[in-house]
Structure 1
Amino acid sequence: MAHQIERYSDFMKYRMLDIIFSGILLFTVGACSPNLTVVDTAATERALVASLTALAEDTGRELPLVATPIPSEEGVGSRNADIEIVSIDVENNYPNSITFEVVATSKNPLRRVAFFYWLQGQDSRNLETVEFVSGDEITASYTWDTARITVAPSTPIYFSWELEDESGNIFVSADTLVYYDDLRFAWKEIRDDEIIVRWYDGDQDFGGSIFSAARESLDRMKSETGAELEFPIFVILYANSTDFASWHYYVEDWVGGQAFTPLGVTTQILSPQHGSSWITEVIPHEIAHLFFYQQIQSNLASWPSWMDEGFAQYYEFTGKNQVLNRVEQAARNGELTPLRYIGGSFGHDPEEVRLAYDESLSVIVFLLETWGKQGLQALIDEIRTGATISVALSEAFSVTFEEFEALWITWLGTPATPRPSPTMIPTFGVIGMPTPVTRETPSP
């Protein structure tokens, strides 16, 4: 590999087993007995990682960063003394496929093997019944074919195995986390407990500038909201549009980045050739998307795009006056897009999209100036309960949606009264929130 991967003091805390031989990640759990616990497994992993790290240092070999199995905190599964797992392997062939394999033994022949997997943020589990040759020692595998879908790099995948023998004894393994990393590039990395930045084009100073921008923006959000992250954020940088598009099944050529909010992943086309203004605008924007999702998401929550995009733009490092002035002018000219129309997709027309982004920021600035950060948090809390935006505004601010919109327009300097809600046409958004390739150059 051309670049040395950075190692950090929290390497052991993450219990990362970053081992790859010929493209195959080997994660050996060992024989599972009724007395085995997650703590025991974790200790074994730490000892193995320590010995392999020492071996790599002695031989001068690197430990490339690959998918990283981590036992979850959600219990240890259901043990059975008659069934033992010998090993669990994960083979990463990103972006085309990822294969999970289990080797197990049993006092009685095994008759059923089931594989469960689910992505971080997914409410339900995918169940796959795996074919195998029955016996008292079996090897079974499942391959998730991702060649014809878009799966973000470093997607967190949870999985477990369920085995049943002919006597009806059942063994369920503990939930395990593996990151579906893109292994095709010689990644460099800077990380702490909350932010992981990866890039392959540019020196350490370049990566450091990205990490600093991400860290500063996240610290500001945490300080102003009093909220914390529930899971870490990945910032993954591709050097050009070809590399970026290579892991998509399809992506518009105007997309310069995406935020996969349930996964805690943002991917961007970013290299040292981009100016510092792009870094200070885009990185905080994407961190804000990921942070906002973690604060507002619940199984019942649904929120408008203008709220999400407005929050993200609010935390950009660049000035806001130019955008706010454009929205004020649109209000005077009677050209504002009704907020109901920008609750979903912003469409495809560049001028309409630009105005939708501008209005989103303007609404959030208005909301914060009128009701403060406590008001924004009250609105978020209502949405988390499953309230629609109309109900949430009524509960948090004692105004109807139409009154809220009229107050905003009046705040812009154009007196307005509540108007009837428009007839809505359903729109469908993109799972990964896109960042345009080009953004307007901020004013000095």
Structure 2
Amino acid sequence: MRRLFAFFLLLVLAFAIFQPARAQSAVEVTDWSVDYDFGGYVNFKARLVSPSPVTDTVILFRAQGETNTRSERITISPEGNVDFTYTFAQGPIRPFARVNFWFYVTLQNGEQVNTPENSFVYADNRFPWQTLEDGNLRVHWYAGDVDFGHAALDTARTGLQRTGEKLSVSLNRPLDMYIYSTAADLQTALDIGGQTAMGGHASPDLGVALVSIAPGDNQGTEMDREIPHELAHILTYELTGERYSRLPVWLREGIASMAELSPNPDHARAISLAVEKRALIPISELCGSFPPDMARIFLAYAESVSFTRFISNKYGTTGLVSLIQAYADGLDCEQGAAKVFARPLSQVESDWRASELGENKGAAALQNLFPYIAVLGIILVVPLALAFTSPKRLKDEF
């Protein structure tokens, strides 16, 4: 009797476990296709094959890196055909992201089914891209001949190798480099996702980098700067994953600028001028963001690469990678440096100013402490001033 009861219980459990799986596979998606106008619309076509008539259908899709899933109720033909167009008036889709989509179907028999997912890459299809590949690396361009493409591929390969050695990391996933011929074309692509760029842009989580380089006499210099810079952002992401955004901006941009094969000579001049005018930006102010005005942005980049190179030269690859990991683990600007170098960021900055910029170490430290000295001065001076200016007490007369 007990055996019979146990056997019956197993049958009930098996039915409960496997019944949903059969329901989930009850609807097939066949003959699907996606067509889109970059920045305009996306058209989905498919045929839903179901053993029971469909009473309600919702299409769902989500771009890589996005947390929100979009859903739209759609109609299908009696034959099960889907023809739905999503317009960007309903909200933009992240450029160059892989977009997964599926259908949530209610059948006449009451079953509700999520179909298997399909996907497409939402790349910029406004241009006749040419492509060259080397392992995981793909370079796309539309202006210039095949020699232009090979030069870009060579530069990308060299940049990846040099930065990979500096960070002790390698590329283990596909990477796409898109080369626009004008800054306007590049910015239009980024506008769709609400982003801006200064010559280039990287989406490290997507493994996508965008640069603006026109074919011509200056293409070699521009490739040497722009391509390795953006690829370095992606290689740094390989070390940190989704924690990449925790890294201070000065470190992210410092590593990327240090990767450039032709360093910008104006960086040294900008720093030299700032030292003369005592207008250097404290590194602590470059942790969360760069200044909004263009002149200060350029100085921020110049300081970031100089400071990062100083750290790399003094502490080596081990020190640089350890600093990256400390920040990725969530330590703030001061704490990350203190953990790795046993010195807070302000002291490491003083070392950099004294060693690389020729500043007096004491003067640099005094400049870092100036805000605190000013506050202390106010605390001490104000009571004294009030004491001297208050009316004197009248002496008692006898």
1:395-406 map, 5 Å:
395-406=339-350
* 1:287-339, Cα deviation, whole Å (9 max, x unpaired): 11222233333258512211111111111112477634653563454221012
* Structure 1 residue 201 corresponds to structure 2 residue 201: no
SS at match of 2:51: strand
- Letter in structure 2 aligned against 1:96: G
- Structure 2 regions of 5+ residues with no counterpart? 1-20, 373-398
Deviation at 1:215, TM superposition (A): 1.0
Deviation at 1:164, TM superposition (A): 3.5
Distance 1:114 1:373, change over 3 A: farther
* Structure 1 residue 340 corresponds to structure 2 residue 284: yes
Distance 1:389 1:181, change over 3 A: same
Structure 2: how far apart are the matches of 1:295 and 1:207? 28
Deviation at 1:355, TM superposition (A): 0.8
For structure 1, which segment, 369-378 or 155-164, has the greater mean C-alpha deviation from structure 2 after superposition? Answer: 155-164
- Structure 1 regions of 5+ residues with no counterpart? 1-76, 424-444
Aligned to 2:173: 231
Instruction: Tell me which of 341, 365, 378 is aligned to 1:417.
Output: 365
SS at match of 2:59: strand
Instruction: Tell me which of 196, 203, 215 is aligned to 1:272.
Output: 215
Instruction: Tell me which of 311, 331, 352 is aligned to 2:296.
Output: 352
- Letter in structure 2 aligned against 1:394: A
Aligned to 2:205: 262
Instruction: Tell me which of 56, 73, 85 is aligned to 1:130.
Output: 73
* Structure 1 residue 282 corresponds to structure 2 residue 226: yes
Aligned to 1:157: 99
SS at match of 1:298: helix
SS at match of 2:49: strand
SS at match of 1:184: coil
Aligned to 1:364: 308
Deviation at 1:129, TM superposition (A): 3.6
Distance 1:145 1:405, change over 3 A: farther
Instruction: Tell me which of 308, 321, 325 is aligned to 1:381.
Output: 325
Aligned to 2:382: none
* 1:361-420, Cα deviation, whole Å (9 max, x unpaired): 011111112221111211222233233333322322223233333333233332132735
Structure 1: how far apart are the matches of 2:105 and 2:62? 18
Structure 2: how far apart are the matches of 1:368 and 1:206? 33
- Letter in structure 2 aligned against 1:361: V
Q: Please report the TM-score for the alignment, with normalisation by the length of structure 1.
A: 0.68
Kept in 2, the 8 Å contact 1:197–1:235? The answer is: yes
1:237-248 map, 5 Å:
237-248=179-190
Instruction: Tell me which of 236, 242, 266 is aligned to 1:298.
Output: 242
Deviation at 1:346, TM superposition (A): 2.6
Structure 1: how far apart are the matches of 2:273 and 2:93? 41
1:310-325 map, 5 Å:
310-319=254-263, 323-324=267-268
- Letter in structure 1 aligned against 2:285: Y
* 1:229-287, Cα deviation, whole Å (9 max, x unpaired): 35322221222345444445489999433323333222222221251211111111121
- Letter in structure 2 aligned against 1:180: Y
Kept in 1, the 8 Å contact 2:155–2:224? The answer is: yes
Distance 1:364 1:133, change over 3 A: same
Structure 2: how far apart are the matches of 1:395 and 1:174? 47
Aligned residues: 345
SS at match of 2:365: coil
* Structure 1 residue 178 corresponds to structure 2 residue 120: yes
* Structure 1 residue 103 corresponds to structure 2 residue 47: yes
Distance 1:194 1:318, change over 3 A: same
Identity %: 24
* 1:190-244, Cα deviation, whole Å (9 max, x unpaired): 0133221111211111110011100111122223323233532222122234544
Deviation at 1:178, TM superposition (A): 1.4
Kept in 2, the 8 Å contact 1:301–1:385? The answer is: no
Rg larger in structure: 2
Distance 1:334 1:269, change over 3 A: same
Aligned to 2:158: 216
Aligned to 1:145: 87
Aligned to 1:434: none
Structure 2: how far apart are the matches of 1:232 and 1:422? 48
Structure 1: how far apart are the matches of 2:198 and 2:243? 29
Q: Please report the TM-score for the alignment, with normalisation by the length of structure 2.
A: 0.75
Structure 2: how far apart are the matches of 1:150 and 1:422? 44
Distance 1:194 1:254, change over 3 A: closer
Distance 1:267 1:95, change over 3 A: same
Distance 1:140 1:252, change over 3 A: closer
Distance 1:255 1:369, change over 3 A: closer
Structure 2: how far apart are the matches of 1:116 and 1:244? 29
- Letter in structure 2 aligned against 1:225: L
Kept in 2, the 8 Å contact 1:110–1:134? The answer is: no
Distance 1:202 1:148, change over 3 A: farther
SS at match of 1:181: coil
